[in-house]
Amino acid sequence: MRSFILKSFEQIKASGEVQLFRSHRPDYKDGEQLRDFIYVKDVVNMALHFLDRKDGGLFNIATGNARSWNDLVKATFKAMGVEPKISYVDMPDSIRSQYQYFTRGDITKLRLVGFDQPTRTLEEAIEDYVKNYLSSNSYL
């Protein structure tokens, strides 16, 4: 699956605008649905933590922080040096009933086995990805 940052980057390049799903719940404003976004470089660091360890089990690989889709898109615009322009479109009926409005990984267990590295902020991760990979047409 392609990242939404890549999709946003392409939308901004093509039209100067990004489309996000409109909220269909009164407790969330449009684009304020929350996700625990994590950068692939942080995922790799977490996986490497277990390379020479005997710890086993299931661990959440996450940041432990929930951020909005608006935050993600605004950070993409900023990394590209473009003023944000976001429009909201209806969520397809086919996913509306099961759409998750909030996700956040609990990384307590990961911290308990000694993983103490901080994860990049959403803004740091997007800036690195956009400036060092997408803008230069490079690959991770």
pLDDT at 52: 81
pLDDT at 45: 96
The SS3 of residue 132 is: helix
Which parts of the chain have pLDDT scores under 70?
1, 140
pLDDT at 56: 80
What's this model's pTM, rounded to 2 decimal places? 0.92
CB 17 within 8 A of CB 6: no
Domain ranges of the chain: 4-134
CA gap 37, 105 in Å, rounded: 9
pLDDT at 1: 66
Tokens at 27, concatenated: 């407790």
**Class of the 4-134 domain?**
alpha beta
pLDDT at 140: 59
Do the strands 18-21 and 86-89 form a parallel or antiparallel pair, or are they unpaired? parallel
pLDDT at 2: 81
pLDDT at 30: 98
CA gap 125, 123 in Å, rounded: 6
